[in-house]
Structure 1
Amino acid sequence: MSDKPWAGRFTQPTDKFVEEFTASIDFDQRMYRYDIQGSIAHARMLARQGIIETAEADTIVEGLGAILAEIEAGSFEFSVSLEDIHMNIEARLIERIGTVGGKLHTARSRNDQVALDVRLYLRDELAEILEYLDKLQGSLLAQAEGNLAVIMPGYTHLQTAQPILFAHHMLAYYEMVKRDAGRMADVLKRLNVLPLGAGALAGTTFPIDREWVAAELGFDGVTRNSLDSVSDRDFALEFCAASSILMMHLSRLSEELILWSSADFAFVELTDAFCTGSSIMPQKKNPDVPELVRGKTGRVYGNLISLLTLMKALPLAYNKDMQEDKEPLFDTVDTVKGSLKIFADMIAEMKVQAENMRVAAARGF
């Protein structure tokens, strides 16, 4: 039991399967950079406040830097027995610099530590997602500007209704993506507060300086209630909700691209880089990218429902259930980023068949 920082009152070792079942290191190791970033700020604050010696903080910071280099070089050995990214890094720190490494955990719990790590992680991912959204808006705008004179049929009920400009149709999606960007920016506002200092649930008696840590890590402020700080996952829910709406928009555009690129419509041609062929019918060109994005929309919806169900009726403050928040969150981040990146490039390279659109518009009487 000596490798368990929480093992003080335990005399029986953890069952091997229980150890594997309860560990999160297989998926939360992606937060290593943020765990180290938060730990460096925490160590410096402890020294500033006279809680540990400056030399001890310097040794801790140097050790954390070396561990970061190990992880990024692929030489760090993650251990399931150490459960999560926090304990893996802390154990390695003590191994590298001795017992002074244990002082890093002063005035801190894994409960407020993970709340910090997830916020730092999602903050960086949101910044990247906002860049992808901006790029997609640029692709839609470029298609509109490059096809200002192209007339196409406008539809209601998928029946030919009134003639419209293709540019007008593209700019409808521009507006949707613009709202998506607004929602993501809104998530970022509420996310960007520091939970560290809440401890396990009721703060700490050490004279910490939360405002200094917040400024050091680029947060706009600090959370106001320690119970809420460790049990709040609203920011993750908001992100998954905003992502679900975003993916719904992409699924609508996907459906139209699938229809428009078919032989029956022939309104647009997706370049070969974004299509695949058939193993039995060589004449076919399949719009696999929009089809897959259309399918991945349901995956993101499922992640939102998973998180909502996870948090339903949870008592304050932290509960082990909340370990299950990361996989749906991480999967949503990966799915949204991949979908946006590929869509921005695919739309930018899409070829418009103007004459086919004009002929179709004339069928509207």
Structure 2
Amino acid sequence: MRLLVLGGTAWLGSYVVREALGRGHEVVALARGESGVAPTGATFVRGDRSTAEGYADLSGDFDAVVDVTRLPLHMRTALKELRSRVTHWVFVSTCSVYADHDVPGADESAPLLPALEGDDWTAEQYGEGKVACEQLLLEAVGPDRAFIARSGLIAGPDDISDRTGYWPLRFAHPSTEDGGVLVLDAPDLQVQVIDGRDLAGWLVAAAEGRVTGTFNAMGRPLPFADYIATVRETVGHTGPVVLVDQDWLTEHGVQPWAGDRSLPLWLPLPEYAGFSSRSVDAALAQGLTTRPLADTVRDGLEWELRQGPGRRRKAGLTPTEEAELVRQRRADA
């Protein structure tokens, strides 16, 4: 194939480029270059996707494009400039497009959020923006030329969101003297992640096979307690686990999911009981495969250690915050 990757310089996009190159394809990556350039072997074209001029340096036709944008403006401009030159369109959407997250096992037919209107976008409108991108794509090229992967939480090395790397790093480097780690006690909480390398491989395979349709793209749901057990075993943690429930976390100012003073992978129950427990039957039937969680944890930890364990994170508790919370929890007992 001659494959165009819109992005291709950071995290998932770079994985897609490497995967396609490894399969022998010619790869062109278009991006502004703010995250660097595309991996060696790809042709890097610098361009701003917000304008038609951003595509001016692209030449020729493409068998497929892989697009990871969250901005309707980028999707609209790309479709206008490229749809006559691209045979097949692969778009990475998100499970945040769904209107409700309280029903475990929901599939791709679940109701969506309203599409974002216009081009003014904020991070709080992430799901609405992706809905708009999906709709623009299907309207422009039709369902016979489009593959939409609604990704769940992407895990493994290069997780610049700092969410999935938190737990391997915390268990490998506990913040307390006795190795105790603060862990949520929530028997009904599920975890549903996908290694970025597995997702990239499936996206390239979909481009090769001109697969069409819309799919939830993540691993099978796993109880949070089992996820934590796998992380502990993989990194060799033998210290105590200090359990707290979600009400205790809320009372002590801990936020769910991401941001400052947060506990990654926790989303409030029952309103988010379905967020990380969606049906992936369609994707698995279409060939999606996922590596063992232990491999993702181990490689993610190696990447975290290369970044520096003490760096400021986008998600999670700082060692000082966690140590104080462990002290408070033990004082409550």
Q: Give the shorter-chain TM-score range.
A: 0.3 to 0.5
More strand by share: 2
The structure with more helix, counted as a fraction of residues: 1
Greater C-alpha radius of gyration? 1
